[in-house]
Amino acid sequence: MDKYRQFVEFEQHLLHDDKPSLYCRSLAANGLLHDTYPFTLLGDLQKVEQSPKFHPEGSVWEHTLLVVDLAAEGRHLSENPQVFMWAALLHDLGKARTTKVRGDRITAYDHDIQGSELAQDFLREFTADEEFINQVAQLVRWHMQILYVNKKLPFADIDKMLTSVPLGEIALLSLCDRLGRGNMNEHVRQAELANIQSFVEQCQPN
């Protein structure tokens, strides 16, 4: 199958499957994620460690699959499910470039910025629709703002974010990202829902 047909097939699963992760796992099993660029950008995530404290599910790949399935549950709430689902799949591509292991500490600073560039590289292999590519890349670029805004970190930039992405879309992606972790109990889930609400309230104009 040529790359474009593979892209179209991938998109159909993202847009219509209850659990797109099953299709993603099948691609990993048949070697596509290791043999064919740019799918190798996804395959690279299988080797990227995460902090067990924040990501008990394991690798960035396992986290991505959880996020994609949650995104599938909520894609009917998105104003552009095509953009939203590709952003969910590609949101952590930057961790392959930025993850550093220092003793028992694992960081991935600027993975949102690096990931935005990689998402563009990925999608340009299949389409010349720059508006679509940019919309996906911008969701990837800003998906960490919930953390930066809620924790009052200097990386927060609400004004620039709101000129780049719809607040509802970045909030929906951020919710999937925050809930897409292992051992998610109801207490933690409610806390993350409260975090999203706080983020939205802080980003809305007074």
- Could you report the per-residue pLDDT of 128-168, keeping only the tens digit for each? 999 999 999 999 999 999 999 999 999 999 999 999 999 99
Question: In the chain, where are the structural domains located?
Answer: 3-203
Residue 115 · residue 168 · CB < 8 Å: no
CATH of 3-203, one of 1.10.3470, 1.20.120, 1.10.357, 1.10.3210: 1.10.3210
Average pLDDT over the chain, rounded to an integer: 95
The per-residue pLDDT for 30 is 92
Q: Single out the residue of 91, 58, 98 nearest to residue 177, CA to CA.
A: 91
Reading the block at residue 16, the tokens are 């219509």
Confidence (pTM): 0.96
Q: In this predicted structure, which of 48-57, 72-81, 128-137, 144-153 has the lowest mean pLDDT?
A: 48-57
The per-residue pLDDT for 143 is 98
From residue 63, how far is each of 21, 26, 153 by CA, in Å? 10, 16, 24
116 by DSSP, 3-state: which? helix
Residue 9 has pLDDT above 90, yes or no: yes
Report the Cα 116 to chain-centroid distance in Å.
Answer: 10
Residue 1 has pLDDT above 80, yes or no: no
The stretch 191-199 carries a mean pLDDT of: 97
The per-residue pLDDT for 61 is 97
Cα angle at 20 between 3 and 167, to 5 degrees? 95
The per-residue pLDDT for 127 is 94
